[in-house]
Amino acid sequence: MRTFEYGEIVLFEGFDGEEDVRVTCWQAERGGLVVARRSAGELSQWCFGESPHVAELSFDEAQTSALARYLNVEREEELAAALAIEFSGTDGWTRIASVRVPLYLLRCGVTSAG
């Protein structure tokens, strides 16, 4: 896990010889959080009609606060690092975007990110 300027944390970075994939997250303005998946290669071109392709998942302040409480993070600024520990690996984006985080938000009684 590498931390970049402005608090961007790499959850996953890989290249299999054909496709380059990088999943990052960072603390957004006004207490939010952003998770981004950037990919480039033939698969991205075929799936999304573009390469490179960027997909972002944004959480507002209420969602970020709920996730911080659920993951037992004392300060919301530490949430990106907690997600890096929880979701690192090749399928981290899938677990963040479609399974775990929406489930966490549901358990917290907060509407899921859109």
Domain count, the chain: 1
Q: Is residue 46 part of a domain?
A: yes
- Residues 33, 22: Cα–Cα separation, whole Å: 17
Is the pLDDT reported for residue 2 higher than 50? no
Closest residue by Cα to residue 31 from 62, 69, 73, 74: 62
Closest residue by Cα to residue 67 from 10, 27, 105: 105
- Phi-psi map region of 30: left, alpha, beta (phi>0 left; psi -120 to 50 alpha): left
Q: Is residue 99 part of a domain?
A: yes
pLDDT, one tens digit per residue, over 100-113 is 666 666 666 666 54
pTM score, whole prediction: 0.68
Q: Is residue 113 part of a domain?
A: no
Q: Which two tokens stand for residue 113?
A: 């990110």
Q: Is residue 26 part of a domain?
A: yes
Question: What pLDDT, on the 0 to 100 scale, is given for residue 46?
Answer: 92
Q: CB under 8 Å to 60, separation ≥6 — which residues?
A: 31, 32, 113
Q: Is residue 85 part of a domain?
A: yes
Please provide the average confidence, as pLDDT, over all residues in the chain.
75
- Residues 61, 34: Cα–Cα separation, whole Å: 11
Q: Is residue 114 part of a domain?
A: no
Q: Answer whether 87's CB lies under 8 Å from 98's CB.
A: no
Mean pLDDT value of segment 49-77: 85
For residue 81, the enclosing domain spans 5-108
pLDDT, one tens digit per residue, over 28-55 is 877 788 888 889 999 889 989 999 999 8
